[in-house]
Amino acid sequence: MNRRKFIKRTFWGLAGLGLFSGLYTWQIEPFWLEFVNVKMPIKNLPNNLVGKTLMQISDIHIGNRFDYKFIINSFEQAKAFNPDFVVYTGDYVSTYKDVVLFDKLEETLNNIVKGKLATIGILGNHDYGRNWSQQAVADKISEMLSKSGVKVLRNENAEVNGLNFIGFDDFWGLNFNPEKAMKGFDMSKANLALCHNPDVCDLDIWGEYNSWILSGHTHGGQVKPPFLPPPILPVKNKQYSAGQYDLSNDRTLYINRALGHLWQVRYNVRPEITLFELQQG
């Protein structure tokens, strides 16, 4: 093979690889849902909850940058697991140019996954509208969630069958009040915290809290090169990308990779719904 043919074949080979990679990250992986199974040992968990399932869905991002029908189809798949608890950890919409697509959100929420025992949600930064500063948007989304059967915790607690949920309002939003949220913490109970932004884990607000914290927000970076960390993460602590982390005072953080996305591109970071199996801690 002469030099000209070699260069030509190499060029077309690289072009073909680039085209395939582009199509994969745009049209395949963003819609390649993964159900992730995780054991969740919780201190003081009542015997009647051992073996129950808790499903986490995060960051559905209903907006105009990808087909929200994927979220509805994912919900239909998730319903087959018949979860006991379902928790939603924020960012139900994508805020773009002051437009919130409430009609598409309403259609999506009409198909929402519900738990047999409880369905609980918190807000994320996008649920506060443009620049996370629109209280009316957050209130509207909270109302829509409530009408759909989701109990929204905004710096509040809810105890269900002996499991105490602590729900933080969003760290970047207008109503973040961790002191109020933690008022319901009791070490003698089985506790589970819902907090959209994992950076909150590094704040001095947890006291003696020693259980699980479920977060979203990062989308796992959406693009993760092999053997390298994701280049873009919307958190101060760049160690927080996706998956399970052991923290101080026997806390465990789990960051869901998100079901939706702001931009329709994913590589090595498939969209995720997490299934936790409750166990005695």
Residue 1: predicted pLDDT: 54
Per-residue burial over 83-103, b if 16 or more Cβ lie within 10 Å, else e, is bbbbbbbbbbbbbeeeebbee
Q: pLDDT tens digits for 20-70? A: 455 799 789 999 999 999 999 999 999 999 999 999 999 999 998 888 999
Q: Tokens at residue 220, please?
A: 């796992």
Sorted by sequence, the CB contacts under 8 Å of residue 59 that are 6+ apart come out as 89, 90, 91, 124, 216, 217, 219, 256, 258, 259, 260, 261
Q: Sheet of 85-89: strands edge to edge?
A: 34-42, 272-280, 53-57, 85-89, 118-122, 151-152
| % residues pLDDT > 70 (the chain) | 91
> In the prediction, which pLDDT does 88 show?
99
Range in 78-92, 202-216, 224-238 with the lowest mean pLDDT: 224-238
Helix axis angle for 102-109 and 135-147, nearest 10°, is 20
Report d(CA 155, CA 165) in Å as an integer. Answer: 11
For residue 277, the cross-strand partners are 39, 53
Residue 173 and residue 175: Cα distance in Å, rounded?
6
Whole-structure pTM value: 0.93
Rounded Cα distance, 21 and 223, in Å? 12
Residue 197 has pLDDT above 80, yes or no: yes
What pLDDT does residue 263 have? 87
Between 141 and 19, the higher pLDDT residue: 141
CA distance 37 to 274: 6
pLDDT of 278 above 80: yes
| pLDDT score recorded for residue 7 | 42
Q: Which residues pair with 152 in a beta bridge?
A: 121
